[in-house]
Amino acid sequence: MLALYRWFTRRNLAGTELTVPAEAVVLRMVGLAYLTVFVFVTVTTRPYPGLHGRGAGIAIALVVFVAGAVLSQPRHGDPSARGRVLALLVVSAASAALALLQPKGLWGAAPTFVAIMAGIRMDRRAGALVLACALLVIGAAATIAKHGGVPVAALAGALPWYLVMRLVGDVRRQHDALRASQGELASTAAAAERGRIAREMHDVLAHSLSALALQLESTRLLARDRGADEQLTRAVDQAHHLAASGLEEARRAIAAERGDALPGPERIGLLADAFGAQSGLPVAIEVEGEPHELAPDARLAVYRTAQEALTNVRRHATPERVEVKLAYLPDSTVLVVQDHAPAGTPPPVALGATASGYGLTGMRERAELLGGELVAEPTGDGFRVELRLPA
C-alpha cells in the first residue's frame, strides 16, 4: 500500500512530497482501476489464461499488456518519449494478440487507453503516430478475427479521448508556463527594488561621506597652518582616511547587492597594506596550501573577518607587529590574525561591536551560519582571531 501511495503522490523514500496536480493523481487512480478491471475480465473470460496452448498465449499477452501499461505511466525520472512510445506499442501488440486469442475479452478498450496516454504524455506528432499504429495493429487483428464493427467502435471512441487529452495537456503546459513567468516577474521586480534602494543608499552615503572627507581634509590643513599639535594633525588625517575608506566599503557593499563580485581572500593583501600605511606597523602575510574556490558567502566572511580583526588591532591594541595567515586545508579554510605587543604591555580591552559595524560578535554569527567557527581570545603577548570555515 505504501508503494501505491508513493506511486500516486510521487512521494520519495525520504518522505519529500513532490509537486503533482490533483488531476494527475486522479488519472493514475483511473489507470490503476482500468488495469485491475482489464486483468479481472481477461482472467475470467473464456478461453481462460493457462499454461498450455491458447491459454499460455493469453497469459503471456496479459502480462505483456500490464507491463507496458505500467511502464507508460509517469514516475520518478519520468521516462523518455522513446520509452513511452515503446511501452504503448507493446500495449497495442498485446491487445492485438488478445483480440486473436480471446475474442470476448476486454481488448477493445485498449485503443482508448493508448489514446489517453498518448494525448496527455506525448507531443502532437509522436502521440498521433502511436495512436495510428495502435489502431492499425488492433484493427488488423480484429479484422482477421472477424470481430465485425469492433474496430470502428474502437476508432470512434479513441479519437475523441486523444483530442480531449491533448487539450488537457496544452492547458496544463500553459499553466506551468504562466506560473514560471509570474515567478520570474516577481524576481525581476524584487531585483529592481533592491537596485533602487541601493542607488538611493549610494547617493546619500556618497554625499555625506564625501562631505565629511572634505571637511576633515580642510580641518587637517587648518590645524597644520595654525601650528596645531602633530598628534592632533595625525588623528584628523586618520579620520579623513577612515571616512574615505568607509565610502569605498559602502560602495562595495552596494555593488554586492547589485550582484557585482564580492570581496574575498584575494583582497586581504590590500587590507594589510592599508593597515600598515595607517598604523606604521609591519604586517606579515602568509598563505599556506593551494587556494581553492569558496562560496560567495564564505569569501565575504574571510574578508570581513580580516578587516574587523585589523580594525580592532588599530583601535584597541598597541602592538609592535601583526601576523596574518591564510591556510587552505583539505577540509577547511583557516584565517588567523594575531598581534604581538612589546613585553609588559597591558592586555587589550574586551572586544565586541566596533564603530566599523562588523563586530566580532557579528563575525562569529556569520561563521556559525556557514558551518564554521570564530575564536577571538587574548594570547601571552597580544590578541588572536581565528576563523575556520569548512571546505
pLDDT in tens, the chain (391 residues): 444 444 444 444 334 444 455 666 676 777 788 888 888 988 898 888 888 888 899 899 899 988 888 888 765 444 466 788 888 889 989 988 888 888 888 888 888 888 888 887 788 888 888 888 888 888 888 888 776 555 566 666 788 888 888 888 788 778 888 888 888 888 778 777 776 776 666 666 666 776 777 777 778 778 777 777 778 877 877 787 777 777 766 666 666 555 556 678 988 988 888 888 878 888 999 999 888 888 888 888 898 899 888 888 877 777 888 999 999 999 999 999 999 888 766 665 544 444 344 467 778 888 888 899 999 988 888 899 999 999 7
Task: Classify 175 as helix, strand or coil.
Answer: helix
Distance CA 210, CA 216 (A): 10
Element (H, E) at 132: helix 124-144
The confidence score (pLDDT) of residue 253 equals 64
Whole-angstrom Cα distance, residue 112 to residue 134? 10
Residue 206 confidence (pLDDT): 63
Please give the grid coordinates belonging to residue 354.
Answer: 566596533
Per-residue pLDDT, 132: 87
- Reported pTM: 0.43
| CA distance linking residue 48 with residue 102, whole number of Å | 8
Domains of the chain, CATH where assigned: 2-148 (no CATH), 263-391 (3.30.565.10)
DSSP code for 386: E
Q: Please, is 377 exposed, middle or buried when counting C-beta atoms within 10 Å of its C-beta (0-12, 13-18, 19+)?
A: exposed
**Separation in Å, CA 153 to CA 34, 111, 159, 302, 380:** 19, 10, 10, 74, 95
Rounded CA separation 202/197 (Å): 8
Distance from the Cα of residue 379 to its chain's centroid: 42
pLDDT at 374: 93
